[in-house]
Chain A
Amino acid sequence: MFKIDKPLPMPTEESAPFWEGTRRGELRAQRCDDCGHLRWPPAAICPICLSGRHEWVRLSGRGKVHSWIVVHKSQHPAFWGDPFNVAIVELDEGPRLHTNLVDVDLAAIRIGLPVEVAFDPQNDEITLPRFKPAA
C-alpha cells in the first residue's frame, strides 16, 4: 500500500495574501478600491466593476453554517477512510467559504449554527481555516 497525501493549496499571485493571512491568524478578503465590493474567492478583477485595484482587509472570522454534508465516499483517494464533514460557512461579512467544522459532534451540526474560525497549521507555509462553534 502507499499513502496519498491530502492536497494542500498552492498559492497563486491572487491568493498568496489570503494564505499569508491565515498563517498569521487572520482571515482576509479583497475589497475593491473602486466600488467597495468585498469579493470571494480571491481574483485578479472585481466581478462587479472589473477594477483590478483592491486592498486586503481583515474579516471577523465569525459566521454561521450555510450548508453541511458528510463525505462517506470521496473521489479523491486521500480522503478515503472515516466519514467526515464539509461545511459551507457564510461569514458575517458575506463571503461563503468551504471548510470543515471541528470541535463539534455531527449531531450538533445544523444550518445556522454560529461558528468562528479555528486556524489549523499544516506546514510552515499553509494554515487552513477551519471553523468551530462560536464561544
Chain B
Amino acid sequence: MDDPRQLSGKAAIAGVGLSRFGRVPGTSAMGFALEASASAIADSGIAKSEIDGVLVLMPAQMGEQHGWASRVAVHLGLAPAFCSTMDMGGASAIGMMQTAAALVHAGVCKAVLCAFGSQTNPQGILPTMFGSQFAIPYGDVGAMPFMAHVGRRQMHEIGITSEQYGAIAVAFRKHASRNPLAQKRDPMTLADHQASRWIVEPLHLLDCCLVTDGGGAIVVTSTERARDLRHGAAKLAGFGQVHSSEIVHPDRHEAGIGGGREAGDQAWRMAGLGPADVDVVQLYDGFTPLVVHSLIVYGFCRPDEVGAFVSAGELEFDRGRLPTNTAGGLLSEGHLSGFNHVVEAVRQLRGTSTSQVPDVEVSMVTGYGGAPHEAPPTVAYTVAILTR
C-alpha cells in the first residue's frame, strides 16, 4: 500500500476473550480455542452469523494437523468466506489482526474471529523436537538457548546486568499479583530472581516465561460496526511486522541490535504516533532480554539508558513512565502466545485492567515468534497500536 495511513483506524477490535488457563491437565487445545472464541464473541455482542472470517494459530507441539482453522470454524458452527491457519508463533495474534483488518478493508469479510488454543502436553502426542542439523547436535535446542545468546550479546554490547533483567521480572510479577487470573501471584523480589536456578546461563528460571495451557480469541470488524457493539471500538490505528534473523545470520546483521525496528516504524507511520504518545504497552516477554530488546527497537530507550530505565521501576503501572505488561505478561500472567497481551491492551483502553493506567488513549502491544531453533534462526516481530 502506497500510504499505510489509509488503513489506520478503519478496523477495530470489538471483542476479546480468554479461556481458563494455567496448568490444566486432561484438556485439549481445541477445547481452549473454542472456549476463548465463545467468550470473545459474547464479549463483542456480535451475532455469530456476522462472523465470516476465521484465523487460528497453529498450536505448537501438536505435530502435523491439517485444517486447524477450518476445524475451529466447523466446531463453532460458522461458514466463513475466508479461513486460514497462521503460523508465526507469538507474533501471530497481531499478524492475524493485520490480516483481519485487510480482509475487512478489502470487503472479503465483515467480521473476523482470531483464535488460539494450546495444551502443552496433549495426550497421545509426543512433543516434536524441532530441528536444525546445524544447532541441535550441539545442544542448542529451542527458544531458551536462542534468548540466552541474545542476553549474552546485550550484556556484551550495552552492559545489561542480570539484576536489570530481574527488575523487569519483579515489575511484571507486581502486576500479576493484582490480577486474579494470573498463574503466578506470589510476590517476587530481586533476591528471589537472583537466587532462582540457572536454566541457560545467563538466564535464570525467573527470566523465562511460564508454561501454560489455555486459549485466547479476538473479534475484528470495521470500526463503524464495532462502534455499535457492546464495548465500542478499540481501533487498530497502526500495525507492522518484520521477519529477520539477527544474532546468528550475518547477512542481515545491523550495527548493534536492530531486529524488529521496521515493525515499529511501520506502526508509528501508519498511526501518525510515536513512542512518546504511548500510555501503556504490552511487550512480548517470552524472556527478559526480549523486553530490553523491545524497549530499544521500538524507540522507548536508547541502548545506553535501558538498564537504568528498568531498574528505576519505569515499567511499573503506578510509578513508571512506561507502564508495561500490566496483567503480568508471559513471565507471570501466563503464556497465551500474546493473546493475553492483546486482551490486556484492550482492557486498558476500556478502563478495566486490574492495574489500570489512568486515561489511556494509546495502548500498544507487540508480538514475537517464529523458529529460533531452525537454521538460520528466524523470528517474526509484530506491533499494533490501539486507540479509542
Binding site for B on A (CB under 8 A): 6-12, 15, 37, 39-41, 47-48, 66-76, 79, 83-84, 86, 88, 90, 94-100, 111, 128, 130
Q: How far is the CA of A7 from the CA of B141 in the complex (A)?
A: 11
Q: How far is the CA of A100 from the CA of B141 in the complex (A)?
A: 13
Instruction: From A10, A66, A75, name the one whose CB has the most chain B CB atoms within 10 angstroms.
Output: A75
Q: Which of B235-249 contact A (CB under 8 A)?
A: 247-249
Partner of B138, one of A15, A75, A98: A98
A72-B201, A75-B141, A76-B129 known; A98 vs B152 contact (CB < 8 Å): no
Q: How far is the CA of A88 from the CA of B135 in the complex (A)?
A: 10
Partner of B145, one of A71, A99, A130: A71
A76-B129, A86-B145, A111-B156 known; A71 vs B200 contact (CB < 8 Å): yes
Is B149 at the interface (CB under 8 A from chain A)?
yes
Size bracket of the B interface: 20 to 34
A69-B145, A69-B152 known; A79 vs B198 contact (CB < 8 Å): no
For A73, the chain B residues whose CB sits under 8 A away are 144, 197-200
For B153, the chain A residues whose CB sits under 8 A away are 66-67, 111
For B135, the chain A residues whose CB sits under 8 A away are 98
13 A–B pairs (Cβ distance < 8 Å), ordered by A: A9-B137, A47-B251, A66-B153, A70-B198, A72-B201, A73-B144, A73-B197, A76-B136, A76-B142, A86-B138, A88-B149, A94-B250, A98-B140
Further pairs besides A6-B139, A67-B149, A86-B145: 10, Cβ < 8 Å: A9-B137, A10-B133, A39-B251, A67-B153, A69-B148, A73-B200, A75-B129, A96-B249, A96-B250, A130-B138
Q: How far is the CA of A99 from the CA of B136 in the complex (A)?
A: 9
- Contact, CB under 8 Å: B129 / A83: no
Query: Binary interface profile of B, 275-289, with partner A (CB < 8 Å = 1, else 0)?
Result: 000000000000000
The smallest beta-carbon distance between B143 and chain A, in angstroms, is 8
Is B31 at the interface (CB under 8 A from chain A)?
no
- Contact, CB under 8 Å: B250 / A95: yes
Partner of A79, one of B132, B139, B152, B251: B139
- Contact, CB under 8 Å: A111 / B152: yes
Is B202 at the interface (CB under 8 A from chain A)?
yes
Q: How far is the CA of A130 from the CA of B140 in the complex (A)?
A: 13
Q: Which of B149-178 contact A (CB under 8 A)?
A: 149, 152-153, 156
- Contact, CB under 8 Å: A67 / B139: no
Q: How far is the CA of A83 from the CA of B198 in the complex (A)?
A: 10
Is B131 at the interface (CB under 8 A from chain A)?
yes
The smallest beta-carbon distance between A46 and chain B, in angstroms, is 10
The smallest beta-carbon distance between A34 and chain B, in angstroms, is 16
Q: How far is the CA of A37 from the CA of B250 in the complex (A)?
A: 12
Which chain A residue has the least Cβ–Cβ distance from B157?
A111
The smallest beta-carbon distance between B317 and chain A, in angstroms, is 32
Is B313 at the interface (CB under 8 A from chain A)?
no
For A72, the chain B residues whose CB sits under 8 A away are 197-201
- Contact, CB under 8 Å: B129 / A7: yes
Q: How far is the CA of A70 from the CA of B137 in the complex (A)?
A: 15
Is B376 at the interface (CB under 8 A from chain A)?
yes
A69-B152, A69-B200, A111-B156 known; A75 vs B134 contact (CB < 8 Å): no
- Contact, CB under 8 Å: A41 / B141: no
The smallest beta-carbon distance between B293 and chain A, in angstroms, is 14
